Amino acid sequence: MDYSIALIPGDGIGPEIVKEAKKVLDAVCRKYHHTFTYSEVLLGGASIDVHGVPLTEDAVARAKASDAVLMGSIGGDAKTSPWYQLEPSRRPEAGLLAIRKALNLFANLRPAYLYKELQKACPLKEEVIGDGFDMIIVRELTGGLYFGERKTTEENGVKTAVDTLTYNENEIRRIAVKAFDIAMKRSKKVTSVDKANVLDSSRLWRKVVEEVAADYPEVTLEHMLVDNCAMQLVHNPGQFDVILTENMFGDILSDEASMVTGSIGMLSSASLNDTKFGLYEPSHGSAPDIAGQDKANPIATILSAAMMLRYSLDLDKEADAVEAAVQKVLTEGYRTCDIMSEGCTEVGTSKMGDLIAEAV
Q: 206-209 long-range contacts, Cβ below 8 Å, gap at least 24?
A: 208/169, 208/172, 208/173, 208/176, 209/172, 209/176, 209/244
# chain residues binding ligand NAD, by CB under 6 A: 20
The single residue of 58, 163, 200, 255 carrying the catalytic annotation is 255
Residue from 15, 76, 237, 250 touching ligand NAD (CB under 6 A): that is 76
- Helices 226-235 and 247-261: crossing angle, nearest 10°? 10
Beta bridge partners of 61: none
Grouping H, G, I as helix, E, B as strand and the rest as coil, residue 7 is: strand
> Which of 26, 251, 294, 354 is labelled catalytic?
251
Instruction: Please pick, among 49, 163, 215, 227, the residue that the annotation labels catalytic.
Output: 227
Per-residue x/- mask for ligand NAD, residues 302 to 341, rule CB under 6 A? Answer: ------------------------------------x---
What distance in Å separates the CA atoms of residue 353 and residue 307, rounded to the nearest whole number?
17
Minimum Å gap between C-beta 332 and ligand NAD is 19
How many C-beta neighbours within 10 Å does residue 201 have?
22
The per-residue b/e assignment along 53-89, b for 16 or more CB within 10 angstroms, e otherwise, is bbbbeebbebbeebbbbbbbbbbbeeeebebbebeee
> What sign does the dihedral 259-261-264-266 (CA atoms) show?
negative
Q: Which of 251, 285, 294, 327 binds ligand NAD (CB under 6 A)?
A: 285
Q: Report d(CA 41, CA 47) in Å as an integer.
A: 9
26 flagged as catalytic: no
C-beta of 299: minimal distance to ligand NAD in Å?
8
Cα separation, 277 vs 274, in Å, equals 8
Rg from Cα positions in the chain: 21
Residue 55 as a binder of ligand NAD (CB under 6 A): the answer is no
Residue selected from 290, 303, 315, 330 as contacting ligand NAD according to rule CB under 6 A: 290
Q: Residue 297, interface with ligand NAD (CB under 6 A)?
A: yes
For residues 81 to 120, the per-residue mask of contacts with ligand NAD, x marking binding by CB under 6 A and - elsewhere, is ------------x--x------------------------
Closest-CA residue to 71 (of 119, 11, 111, 28): 11
CA 162/CA 150 separation, integer angstroms: 5
Integer Cα distance of 73 and 63 in angstroms: 16
- Contact residue for ligand NAD among 70, 99, 264, 357 (CB under 6 A): 264
Helix (H) or strand (E) holding 47: helix 45-51
Q: Which stretch binds ligand NAD (CB under 6 A): 110-118, 286-294, 305-313, 320-328?
A: 286-294
CB of 252 to ligand NAD, least distance (A): 16
Identity of the residue, 47 or 297, whose beta carbon is nearer to ligand NAD in the bound complex:
297
Stretch of residues binding ligand NAD (CB under 6 A), selected from 136-144, 155-163, 205-213, 280-288: 280-288
| 3-state secondary structure at position 166 | coil
Residue 144's Cβ-count burial label (10 Å; 0-12, 13-18, 19+) is buried
* Binding-site member from 281, 302, 308, 347 for ligand NAD (CB under 6 A): 281
Does the annotation mark 311 as catalytic?
no
Stretch that binds ligand NAD, among 62-70, 73-81, 204-212, 304-312 (CB under 6 A): 73-81
Is 255 part of the annotated catalytic residue set?
A: yes
229 binds ligand NAD (CB under 6 A): no
Where along the sequence are the contacts to ligand NAD (CB under 6 A)?
73-76, 93, 96, 264-265, 281, 284-290, 296-297, 300, 338
Which of the residues are catalytic?
Answer: 146, 195, 227, 251, 255
